[in-house]
Chain A
């Protein structure tokens, strides 16, 4: 290949990739600018990159209401508790199902496959959660329904299958129970896959708003994503909390400020975590 042709195509590819990256980042930047704009210039000029002047009004409005702190506490609680339990029981079951000597392990595999293939319809699902388990308006409704994902379970099982069984067997000859073997020996060996499912599960909990949509009406247990979903009507509510009358509601800019408050942690953690996600996708893609 000629050098000149090579460098020309190289430039073209870089330009195209820059365009793709720019169009990915465009909404982020626009939202950021709008969140720092003053409400009047948004009402006059629409969402632009060039507002009349910049202000912290919207962030002050959001951060001065206890609603958002409360929602944050709910989201953090749900994410931490949900992820911890989920990772623990998924990896425990995944390990047990990888043990060759377990006679019925394939029956259990089948048991976990079926819900992946036949997704139960939403109405009985809703009725069971709300009428049988009475989880409506409890924080458990935000945790339990997505606690076990068979997909993650199989990811773990396949990983454990690749670890030689002799590791566990030698520990059990020394008198360890399967559970201690799992916690002390197998779990540390499976660090990469555990890290992966931890990240994916916590992202799932952090970003969910549908469970709150189905099951939660009480304001005290609404997570941040749900607050963001309802922000337009909530701005009026927040305004009325402050006895300032209902005119001049900064709903456009507050919406964007709340958006950044909810994605802030993700953007901050992203540079450190993305490589683990990428590794995780590779593990999942090899056999998923």
Chain B
């Protein structure tokens, strides 16, 4: 009976899936039941399973301490800034690149724009410091040379949501430009030829043909980005703040950095695990919602 089953007949193929499945099991599934730690008063000696239950007390702390509101607001604000301005700049640059007639120049611009994508966030954070450092930064240098007062960037949280979003765009715009450029080149050339016959100017072609034809790609990419709106750019933000610029957390403490700090600096398992579970659940809801919309809009791009 068993020897005739699909599992036995195709055992080689199933064995080929096994290593990947095993790794995913160890690092994604095995921790999942551990999420109940968010409802427990965790201590090392009792471990996850025997630590006492405390219901929603951990969430109460996360909620009443004001951190829930602060981290949620920061995460979403930074992501929205990034999505909005990132999309606008990627589409604009792609259209502009497409208009560059000289092939060599076009490749050169594109490759330069793509270069930051390859840097680690630690390097990017150091670039940010080169520009914004209070004492040595290029911007303060220029400001004081022009006769303005230098700004103490690293103790002025009000600027940093924009700086984080801007830096993320600087790093990733080359990547998105490639996707939009591919979408532009796949537009049927006959449309442009027909409009040229009708006497349309180039900007009219861009406005009335190219941009409408790009809308499906734009909508899809934006929806996919909205799907991860509850996840902050931990790698960048933590590399910028490290342990020395805590003043900035007021505006750029995202859920990820909060979870990390609660666990690492204060060994506060309860707050950390509550925030982490909150993020997983909200992330799950949002990604399902956005995927549902992608599916309605364009089946081919749906994640699942």
Contact = CB atoms under 8 A, between A and B. Distances in A.
B140 A121 contact: no
Contact of A119 (B6, B105, B130, B283): B283
Helix, strand, loop or mixed for chain A's interface? helix
B31 A270 contact: no
A69 interface: no
B154 interface: no
Contacts of B137: 46-47
A131 B31 CA distance: 11
A120 B32 contact: yes
A17 B102 CA distance: 12
With most chain B CB atoms within 10 A of its CB, the pick from A25, A117, A262 is: A117
A209 B269 CA distance: 23
A124 B19 contact: no
Contacts of B135: 46
B19 A93 contact: yes
Given A24-B113, A121-B280, A132-B30, A266 B101 contact: no
Interface in B18-34: 19-21, 23-24, 26-34
A42 B27 CA distance: 45
Nearest to A16: B96
Interface in A4-44: 5-6, 9-10, 13-14, 16-18, 20-21, 23-25, 27-28, 30-31, 34, 42-43
A285 B26 contact: no
B123 interface: yes
Contacts of A72: none
A259 B123 contact: yes
Nearest to B108: A21
A128 interface: yes
Interface residues of B, number: 96
B192 to A, nearest CB: 11
A122 B31 CA distance: 9
A89 B120 contact: no
A263 B276 CA distance: 33
Nearest to A112: B24
Nearest to B196: A1
B118 A203 contact: yes
Given A108-B21, A117-B304, A124-B273, A209 B239 contact: yes
Smallest CB-CB A-B distances: 7 pairs: A124-B34, A121-B276, A207-B120, A115-B28, A93-B20, A27-B127, A46-B136
